[in-house]
A and B are shown apart, each in its own frame.
Chain A
Amino acid sequence: MQIGPVLAALRHHKAGTLLIAVQIALTLAIVCNALFIVHARLARLSQPTGIDESSLLVIGNEWAGKPNADQMASLMAADLDTLRRVPGVANVYATNSFPLSNGGSAMGVGHSPDKLKYVTSAAAYYADENTLSTLGLKLVAGRNFNANEIGLLDGKAYVHPAVVILTRALAMQMFPHEPALGKPVYISASPSIVIGIVDRLRTPWVDNSMAKWADSSVLVPYRRLTPVTQYVVRAQPGRLGDVRDHVRAALYAANRMRVISAKDGVRTFAQVREAAYRDDRGMAILMSGISVVLLLVTGAGIVGLSSFWVGQRRKQIGVRRALGATRHDILRYFLTENLLIAAAGVAIGGVLAIGLNLWLMRQFEMDRLGIGYVLGGVAALLLLGQGAVLAPALRASRVPPVEATRSV
C-alpha cells in the first residue's frame, strides 16, 4: 500500500485530520497519567502490614473522669483480664497504635544519644509479651519480651526502654553488615538492646511522605498510661463476629466510666484497612473511570468522523472500484489513513504524556512515569483507532463500483 495517495487525500481534510490527531494525543496523555496514578494507588493498597489481619479487632477506649496513672494501670489490667474472658478471644494487648491506624508516634533511631543524628525515623509501638502472638508477627531472630520487662509509662514520661524488638527492615538499616541482635540502638538518651527481630511490621501511616520508612517499626516494652488506649484483640478462628458484638458490652459491664464510641469504637481490621485506603481506592476508581470513558469517547469520535469521510467519498470509492481496486484495497486504504493519523497523534501524545507527568511530578510529588505506560498507551490507542475505523472502512469496501456512474 502506497501512503502517498493517502497523504494527498488527507491534505483535503486538514481540519478533521488535525482534530482526530489532537484528540488521540490528549487522550494518550491523560490516560497514561491516570492509569499511572491508578497503578501507584493499587500498589499501595497491596502493601503487606506483616500482621495476620484475619480475626483481628481493635477497640478504642478512653477513660472518663481523668483517673490518675495508678488508677489507669489497674483499670487497664482489669480490662485486659475482662477481654481475655470474653468467649472467643484468643489474645489481647494494649497499645498506642497499630498498622494502618493513621496515628501514632514516630521516633528517630540512631547509634548515639544525639537526637539530630538518627539513622532513620521509625514508628514506636507500645507492646507487651502478648503483642507478637496477638498480631501474628513472625519472630525471625531473638526472643519476645518477658512479662517482667513491661514498664508502665506515665503520660508525659520519657521513653527509654532497656530492650526493644525491631523489624527486619529497620535492623538491616541500622546494622547493614552484622546481625542486629544484642546490639544497642538509641531512641532516647540511653541505649536499648535489640532482643528480637520480627519479619515485618508496617508503620501506622499510609501517607506518601512517610513511605520511605514504612517498614521501620520498633516495639517498646511499655503500657502507656494515657486516657486513650487501643486494645488489639485476636479472636479464635471463626469467632470474630461474636467477639465484635460482645466486647463493648463486656467492657461497659466491667466498668462504665469510659467512652468506646458506639459508631467506630470497635472495628475489625478489615474496617481499619478500608478506612486507611479509602482515599487511594477512590482515586483509583475515579482515574480508571475517566480513562475508560475517555477511550470510549475517542473511539466514538473516530467512528463518527470516519463515517463522514466514507459518506463523502462514496463516488471516489466507486471510481477506484470501477478501475479495478478490490474491496480489500479500499479497506486497507481507510485502515492506513487512520493509522497515519493515529501515529501522528500518539507521537504528539507521547510527548504530552511525559510533559504532563513532569508537571505533575513538580506539583504533586508524583513518581516518574514509566516508559512502559507510554508504550502501552501508544499500542492501545493505535489499536483503538484501527478498531474504531473498521466498521466505517468495511462499509466503504462494500460501496459498489456502479457508484462511480451516479449523480454526475
Chain B
Amino acid sequence: MLAYYLRLGLLSLRRNPVLTALMVLAIGVGVAASMTTYAVFRAVSANPLPDKSSRLFVPQIDPWGPQARLDGSDVPDALTYTDAMALMRDRRGARQTAIYPMSHTLIPDDVSREPFHVSGYAAYADFFPMFDAPFAYGSGWDRAQDDAHAAVVVISSQLNRQLFGGANSVGRTLRLDDHDYRIVGVMADWNPRPRFYDVNNDDAFNDPPDFILPFTQAVDTHTDTDGNDLCRGTTGREPGWDGWLRSGCAWVSFWVELPDGAAAAAYRSYLQGYAAEQTRAGRFHWPPNTALFDLTQWLRHEQVVPPATRISLLLSLGFFLVCLVNTVGLLLAKFMRRAGEIGVRRALGASRREIWLQFLAEAAMVGIAGGVAGLLLTGVGMVSVGLVFEPEIARLAHMSAGLIGLTLLCALVATVAAAFYPTWRAAHVQPAWQLKSH
C-alpha cells in the first residue's frame, strides 16, 4: 500500500510542478546552507583528543596583577618563563610540558637547493606521551635528556619524506640554522585539529609542525618564540636574552596531565599556593589569581570556534526554519485543495490512518527530492566554502558519507515533520461536507 501511496504522491506532485519545485528548492537550499555551515562548524569545534581531553589541563597564573586589566583585557593566556620553569621543576602533575612555537631555516646539504623554512615547537619529553603523538620510527626523548639539554629532535613524517625519502632517519643529523640535532624519532602523520596545545597563538588549523625539540635546548640556543609575546603589564626589562627570560612577558604555553578530579583539585591548590608564595616573596603585589582549564574549557576560553562560524551556522538554521514554515504553508494549500478527493476516499471507506499515510508519503517524496537537491547544493557549498571562510578552515569542511546521510535525513525528517499539520487537517476533512458541494 505504501508503494501505491508513494506513486500517488508522485502523481500529485507532478500535477502542479511549479508549487512542487518551489517546495523542493526551498528545502534543498535550506538544508544545503545549514549543512555547509554545519560541516565547517563541526570541523572547527571538534574535540582533538577525545580520549584524553578531560585529563589535560592548562594552568594560568596572573603575572601582572589587576592593574594591567583596567582596560578590560584578560589574564595573559601564557605563562612567564619564570612561572613555567617553576611548575616544570615542581612536577606536580603526572606529566607536564612547557611549550613554545619556534621556527628555523633548514639548509639542505645539496647546495643547488635553496634553504627553506621549518616551524615547530620547543617542548619537554612528556609532550609525546601526554598528547598521544604516534611514531613511525624511534620515539621521543626522555626526561634525562631534558635535563641534559640534549641536542635531539623529533621530526614530522612530512619532513622525513622531504629530507630522507620516508626512510628510517633515526640516528641521522638534522641541521637547523647553525646547530646540529640528532633525530631520535619520526612521528607518524599527526595533526590534531584544532591544535589545542597552540591555540593561544592563533595556530589552530595550520599544517602539522615540522619538528619538536627539547625546550631546554631551544632556550640555550636563544631561539625566539614564533608566537605572541605578551608584555603589556611589565615595567621594562633588562636587555638581552637573559633579560627577556627574567622579564614579566608571558609567552610560554604550559600543559599538565592530571589523572582524576582529585589530582586536578590538588593541582589547583598547588597553583594557588605557588602564586601566594610569589606574593609573599614580593614578586607579585596582589592576591594570588590562578586558574586551571581542562582541554575543552581551554578551547572555549580561547574562542577557537570563530564567532563568524557560529553566526553563519545560526543564521543558516534560522533560514532552514523559514523554509520549513514555507513548506508547511505550501503543503497545507496543496492538501486542502484536494479536500474533494479526500472526501471521496473517506466516503468509500478509507480510514483517517490511510489518509495520514497517503499524505505523509507524499510529503516524504518532497522531502527526498529536497534532500537530493540539498545534496547537490551542499556539494556546491563545499566547493565555494573557500569564498566565505578562511582557507585554513574552509579546507577542513568536506563531503563525507556521514554528511551525505545527514543531509538526506534532515531534509526527509524536516519535511515529514512539516507535513504533520497539513496532513492532520487533511485527515479531518468531513466527507459529507465535500460530497454535498459537488
Contact = CB atoms under 8 A, between A and B. Distances in A.
A363 B306 CA distance: 12
A240 B37 CA distance: 38
Nearest to A23: B325
A307 B437 CA distance: 21
A245 to B, nearest CB: 18
B82 interface: no
B162 interface: no
Contacts of A115: 232-236
A244 B28 CA distance: 45
A250 interface: no
Contact of A298 (B30, B70, B104, B322): B322
Interface string B108-120: 0000001111000
Interface string B388-423: 111100000000000000000000000000000100
Contacts of A354: none
Contacts of B306: 279
B237 A290 contact: no
Contacts of A158: 236-237, 239, 243
Contacts of A114: 235
Nearest to B21: A300
Contacts of A20: 329
Contact of B107 (A33, A37, A65, A155): A65
Q: Is the interface of B mostly helix, strand, loop or mixed?
A: helix
Q: Give the size category of B's interface with A.
A: 35 or more
Contacts of B105: 62-66, 227, 259
Contacts of B321: 26
A175 interface: no
Interface string A95-136: 000000000001010000111100001000000000000000
Interface stretch (A142-150, A281-289, A325-333, A368-376): A281-289
B50 interface: no
A151 interface: no
Interface residues of A, number: 66
Interface string B327-340: 01110111011000
A217 interface: no
B239 A16 contact: no
Contact of B115 (A65, A287, A300): A65
Nearest to B437: A407
B311 A297 contact: no
Contact of B387 (A15, A227, A285, A363): A285
Q: Is the interface of A mostly helix, strand, loop or mixed?
A: helix
A294 B19 contact: no
Nearest to A301: B326
B178 A116 contact: no
B178 A297 contact: no
A396 to B, nearest CB: 15
A323 interface: no
A227 B310 CA distance: 38
A156 B33 contact: no
Interface string B312-325: 10011011011101
Contacts of A294: 319, 322
Given A259-B117, A297-B326, A305-B330, A30 B388 contact: no
A156 B243 contact: yes
Nearest to B234: A115
A23 B114 contact: no
A364 B306 CA distance: 10
A122 to B, nearest CB: 12
A283 B308 CA distance: 7
Interface of A: 15-16, 19-20, 22-23, 26-27, 29-30, 33-34, 37, 62-66, 106, 108, 113-116, 121, 154-158, 188-189, 226-227, 252, 256-259, 261, 278-279, 282-283, 285-287, 290, 293-294, 297-298, 300-301, 304-305, 307-309, 311-312, 360, 363-365, 407
23 contacts: A16-B333, A19-B325, A19-B329, A19-B332, A22-B325, A23-B325, A64-B177, A65-B107, A65-B178, A106-B232, A115-B233, A116-B68, A156-B240, A157-B239, A157-B240, A226-B224, A252-B114, A279-B308, A286-B312, A290-B33, A297-B26, A300-B26, A304-B329
